[in-house]
């Protein structure tokens, strides 16, 4: 399977822009009475995002040889 670093960069940039937009919109909402409410709301939002698209949050294992010893 071919891996395109330019495509990966574009996708990652779009994800970061979308997250920044969500943070900007969350900041525009009336400030909550306590910081705990905001943190809880952001945690719930991230959990919902993870449920919708878990592949973004799970690190794929890299295939290939793993050398556990360094040869000098």
Instruction: Show the tokens assigned to 52.
Output: 């919708």
Sign of CA dihedral 14, 54, 58, 61: negative
The residues, ordered by sequence, that sit 6+ positions from 57 with a Cβ below 8 Å of its Cβ are 50
What's the confidence (pLDDT) of residue 3? 75
* Torsion region of 64: left, alpha or beta (phi above 0 gives left; psi -120 to 50 gives alpha): left
pLDDT digits (tens, 9 = 90+) for 11-62: 889 999 999 998 888 888 766 567 888 888 889 988 888 888 777 666 666 6
């Amino acid at each position: 399977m071919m891996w395109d670093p330019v495509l990966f960069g574009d996708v990652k940039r779009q994800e970061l822009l979308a997250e920044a937009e969500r943070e900007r919109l969350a900041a525009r909402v009336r400030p909550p009475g306590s910081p705990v409410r905001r943190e809880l709301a952001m945690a719930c939002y991230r959990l919902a995002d993870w449920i919708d698209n878990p592949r973004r949050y799970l690190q794929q294992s890299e295939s290939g040889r793993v050398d556990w010893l360094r040869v000098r």
